[in-house]
Amino acid sequence: MQVIHQPRVAWDTARVIGDALRDDALFGWLHQEFGGLFGPAAGDALVESRNRVRWAGDARLPVETGLWRVRLEDALRQRPELADELAGLASVARAHRP
């Protein structure tokens, strides 16, 4: 049995989200995947994060990344069974970055 370090999964995925906020193709894919995992509200939250970064500029990226880390840690505490799937999602996204 593999032990998954949930805070690490949350951090890795939050970094992927930060990258996706500036990349149209990655964002579209991630938006769809998050909607499938966490429901439409998660997809809406991604769009809101992207809009804040577009409005405020790249200086906002660390803030949004940090917010997503906390959100994901909270989500994994409530639904630990998603950790494997979330880790896989982050891995696929990192592999497809330019």
Q: Write down the pLDDT at residue 98.
A: 57
Q: Which residues of 55-86 are buried (b: 16+ CB within 10 A; e: fewer)?
A: eeeeebbeebbeebbebbbebbeeeeebbeeb
Query: CA–CA separation, 57 vs 65, rounded Å?
Result: 13
Please indicate, yes or no, whether the overall pTM of this predicted structure exceeds 0.75: yes
Q: Which amino acid is located at 11 in the chain? A: W
How far apart CA 66 and CA 63 sit, in angstroms, is 5
Q: Given this model, what pLDDT does residue 93 score?
A: 86
Mean pLDDT by 10 residues, the chain (98 residues): 79 94 92 91 96 95 97 94 92 79
